[in-house]
Amino acid sequence: MPYILMSLILSVALLPYQASARSLLQLNHQIPADVVPSQVAPDHPDWLQRHQHQVNRHAWQTFIALMWPALTDRGRPDIGALFGKPTHRVWETWKEQIEVYPVDGSAPLPWRVPETIPATCQTQPGQPLRHLHRNEKVDDVLDAINQAAKADATLPGTLTDQYGKVVRYEIRMNRTVFDYIVQNQLYNGNQQAEVEQIQFPDGAMLIKAAWRELTTATSAQDRQRFMTRKACICDGDACHIADVALVGFHIMHKTASAPQWIWSTFEHKANVRRSHGLPASFRRPRCQGEYCAPNSQTPTGTPNQVTQVLPMSRSLRNLNHRVHRWLKKADSVLHNYRLMSAQWPLPQSDAEKPTVFHAQPRFAANTTMETFTQDTSSCMGCHAMARSMKPDQFVSSDFTFTLNNAHPTPDSAICASYSYSNSIGCSEQTILFNPAALSSYPAAQAEQITRGHQLLSHTYEQLPEHVGNKLHCRSCHLHAGGVPEASWWVNMRQAYVSQDAAVQAASPAAALQGRINQCFERSLHGKALCTPASAQDGTIDAGNCDTNPDMSAMIAYMDWLTDTYHQQHPCPEPGQCPPTPRGFPALTQDNVIGRVSVGQAIFEQKCAFCHNSEGQGRYASGTYFRPALWGDHSYPAIAGMGKPEKLARFLRWNMPYGSGGLLTDQEAQDLACFIDAQPRPGQATTSDSNSSQCVPTVLDQ
């Protein structure tokens, strides 16, 4: 059908939410610059619903433009082409992420240079071929092993279809993103670490696409229901050519009205349910066996059983139906794809920085990309934690994880990739346990230190008789006490000295042993490991902690941390060592009053995808992955973290995990008040945290 005629049909047929607001939704190659505002003021009772409809229309219009036939020149639409079955689509000609970050930290090749395909996959000249080198959507360095948001520490985070094929992902950027990266040399990790602010221009766009590998079992008729391509699929150096089908499509679009970007997500109709005779790609209705639980991770090669969790509004269903009808008339395979959600930021004139926001809708998920955490998935909330490669300070990378692929890793970032992205580094003071570093120690001592690290890292599994919840010591003391901002364990013997000189002389570790016992009794809701030495009627009761092997192993590990720190940071002069940090750093403002209801909204956006919808943590496959924040498996109210002012300091500088510094003081206090207001083991929560406002103790005195 001619392009002009098709545009006229769609401009009449795809009516907006209100018949009087005839903003056009067209079969058009032009990417819309922004959302067309609704015709009512923001204080109108229907404004939110109407504006959501406009955002949904914006998402569809953007999708249509990105799927427009393209010239071989990168990013240029073929304006005169028919929309039906193009060889290339506009977004497919954009730069793939792997093209932008050379491993030597040099500048990427210019925009128009074609993508390189491995020699083992070379085909006939002119035959289109894409290179799928990862099987997850964020991290190149991990070489595509997991989805961005896992829920199980034991099983792979890959998505496997009903034919045993792993879904592959690709990430592409438009020229606006590419030029900004090149102009600011953000492709180089060392240069990126020097940047104090990253802010992509309006018009920046990133695409994440999910592809399912087709097999001989897929009939020719079924293939016609997918957008298909021939791909070079690589696992390391092993590559093969196969036909792949598009099953998921994310669009990130930064606009003037959305500094936190607009997040649109599309997927194929037959992903999780049969569609007009086409079997579901990721669900078997009569699944039998061990791994049939919906939206759960499975062993390698075992199909995942996927269901759609988040509901779709009636307005969005109607819009999808209208668009599908006219795409089908245009003879486009795209009528088999539907918009699942379009998330956008509510206007906030008083926000301190872009990472402070309210998202609408609260949650958004794609069954192929957030498979295992759909009910807690917020695109905006998760991407808020994206950071640059600056190791000693959180610098937002403006909601995109793509910059974490820069090379080389800055010298001062000594522990790359301990969380979601390999841009996350640690400051030079952070100490990571390395068994190889124990080679200079006597064998018995090295074994004791290793045992201490094991106990402190896996406490409730290793010491079940002494732990009443499902927390580890490292749940709060991150990296097993190796992080300065998370109450680390350097110089613990100096920090805890017995007030009784006789006790100190008889048992130098008695005070520290007592403090460790306190953690077991309070934070771990358990019981003491042993009895430290004490003074009794002028005599010394030796207790049994000095001979307790578990206590001795823990302290041996803490001593190793101290020794390692002083080896790395020797004193300038004997007796002139600078003081080491203790506890959690203070907030930058005094006496911040927390708001429980606001804290709940922050939790949903920036915490729930890790700690689950009700703060119950993630313990799938009987394994600790993310700790419980309330409920029976969490800390009691008498724990240190049960004091909102202390919890706020921990959250401010350490959470989200790997992106400490993201939260503002106000967010941290709001969040702490909400978390500590929830039910937990032992005594009830404090009245401070249960009230609508949470007043720090310093103000309450």
**Each residue's pLDDT tens digit, 564-583:** 999 988 888 877 788 888 89
Beta bridge partners of 131: 232
- 3-state secondary structure (DSSP) of residue 234: strand
pLDDT at 349: 63
The yes-or-no verdict on residue 215 having pLDDT over 80 is yes
The yes-or-no verdict on residue 391 having pLDDT over 50 is yes
Higher pLDDT: 120 or 241? It is: 241
Higher pLDDT: 570 or 180? It is: 180
Q: Are 592 and 665 in contact (CB under 8 A)?
A: yes
Give whichever of 125-134, 139-148, 515-524, 658-667 has the largest mean pLDDT. 515-524
Which residue, among 47, 54, 72, 69, has the nearest Cα to 16 in the 3D structure?
54
Higher pLDDT: 687 or 657? It is: 657
pLDDT at 658: 85
Q: Average pLDDT, stretch 534-551?
A: 93
State percent of the chain over pLDDT 70: 88
Q: Are 547 and 468 in contact (CB under 8 A)?
A: no
pLDDT at 21: 35
* Rounded Cα–Cα distance for residues 565 and 557 (Å): 12
What phi and psi values does residue 59 have, to the nearest 5 degrees? -60, -45
- What residues contact residue 444 under an 8 Å CB cut-off, 6+ apart? none
**Cβ neighbour number for residue 321 with a 10 Å cutoff:** 10
70-84, 638-652, 667-681: the lowest-pLDDT one: 70-84
Pairing of strands 130-132, 228-235: parallel
The yes-or-no verdict on residue 700 having pLDDT over 50 is no
**Helices 314-329 and 47-66, packing angle to 10 deg:** 30
Structure tokens at 143: 């070489």
140-149, 304-313, 440-449: the lowest-pLDDT one: 140-149
The model's confidence at residue 666, banded by pLDDT at 50, 70 and 90, is very high
The model's confidence at residue 350, banded by pLDDT at 50, 70 and 90, is low
pLDDT at 414: 54
Q: Average pLDDT, stretch 422-433?
A: 66
pLDDT at 12: 38
The model's confidence at residue 341, banded by pLDDT at 50, 70 and 90, is very high
Give whichever of 34-48, 218-232, 461-475 has the largest mean pLDDT. 461-475
Structure tokens at 640: 């240190």
Q: How far is residue 699 CA from its own chain's centroid?
A: 35
DSSP strands (E only) in 440-547: 534-536, 539-541
Here the contacts of 579-586 (C-beta below 8 Å, separation 24 or greater) are: 580/484, 580/490, 580/491, 581/484, 581/485, 581/488, 582/487, 582/495, 583/487, 583/649, 584/485, 584/486, 584/487, 584/646, 584/649, 584/650, 584/652, 584/653, 584/654, 585/485, 585/649, 585/652, 585/653, 586/649
The model's confidence at residue 128, banded by pLDDT at 50, 70 and 90, is low
- What residues contact residue 321 under an 8 Å CB cut-off, 6+ apart? none
Cis status, amide bond into 77, omega within 30 of 0: no
Q: How far is residue 7 CA from its own chain's centroid?
A: 39
The yes-or-no verdict on residue 623 having pLDDT over 80 is yes
Which residue, among 469, 481, 487, 480, has the nearest Cα to 527 in the 3D structure?
469
pLDDT at 415: 55
Structure tokens at 161: 């279809």
pLDDT at 413: 61
Structure tokens at 588: 């930058």
The model's confidence at residue 121, banded by pLDDT at 50, 70 and 90, is confident
Structure tokens at 599: 């804290």
* Rounded Cα–Cα distance for residues 546 and 161 (Å): 56
The yes-or-no verdict on residue 536 having pLDDT over 60 is yes
| pLDDT, averaged across the chain | 88
Which pTM value belongs to this model? 0.91
pLDDT at 489: 97
Higher pLDDT: 303 or 330? It is: 303
Residue-wise burial string across 253-276, b where 16 or more C-beta atoms lie within 10 A, e elsewhere: bbbebbbbbbbbbbbbbbbbbebe
pLDDT at 25: 67
The yes-or-no verdict on residue 351 having pLDDT over 90 is no
**Each residue's pLDDT tens digit, 14-72:** 433 333 334 446 788 999 999 999 888 888 999 999 999 999 999 999 999 999 999 87
Q: Are 450 and 444 in contact (CB under 8 A)?
A: no
The model's confidence at residue 684, banded by pLDDT at 50, 70 and 90, is low
**Cβ neighbour number for residue 57 with a 10 Å cutoff:** 23
For tokens 């009449």, name the residue.
Answer: 12
Residue-wise burial string across 637-649, b where 16 or more C-beta atoms lie within 10 A, e elsewhere: bbbbbbbbbbbbb
The model's confidence at residue 126, banded by pLDDT at 50, 70 and 90, is low
State percent of the chain over pLDDT 90: 69
* Rounded Cα–Cα distance for residues 696 and 386 (Å): 30
Give the CA radius of gyration of the chain: 28
pLDDT at 234: 83
Q: Are 267 and 368 in contact (CB under 8 A)?
A: yes
* Rounded Cα–Cα distance for residues 84 and 455 (Å): 62
